[in-house]
Amino acid sequence: MYDKLAKIALEMRSKAYAPYSHFTVGVALLARSGEVYEGTNIENASFGATICAERVAISRAIIEGENTFEAIAIAGAKEGEEVLKPCYPCGICVQTLSEFFDADTKVILVEGDSYTVRNFSEIAPATFGKEDL
């Protein structure tokens, strides 16, 4: 399954709308239901309005009624270039994902033809959450 998610993440890079950074990101988010939600980055001329691939995917999943997740695969690199190193989720995405992810939700970081698998808690050891309110 991780192989499949990594492959989808790589494929999704081709759907990116990234005319400003020319950095294309694809993600594949696996919900506990077994459904996979795809995402890619969507930039904006007002740069701050850009949406990262991770938040596109989780938004698509949430509106389908999903709220628990097994894994997310992320693949990002300069447009037209291979993914040679891990693309970590940005701080805003970590915070967004933390609302729905468990400590052991897997983050699959695509790297070349392979990937590394990390627990979400390794990427985000501590985040602000509902228990802090």
- Annotated catalytic sites, by residue? 54
Non-local CB neighbours of 125 within 8 Å, separated by 6+ positions: none
Q: At closest approach, how far in Å is the CB of 27 from ligand THU?
A: 7
Q: At closest approach, how far in Å is the CB of 43 from ligand THU?
A: 5
Cβ proximity to ligand THU: between 34 and 80 the closer is: 80
* Residues within the interface to ligand THU (CB under 6 A): 18, 21, 23, 25, 41, 43, 50, 52-54, 74, 76, 87, 89-90, 93
Cβ proximity to ligand THU: between 52 and 58 the closer is: 52
Q: At closest approach, how far in Å is the CB of 69 from ligand THU?
A: 16
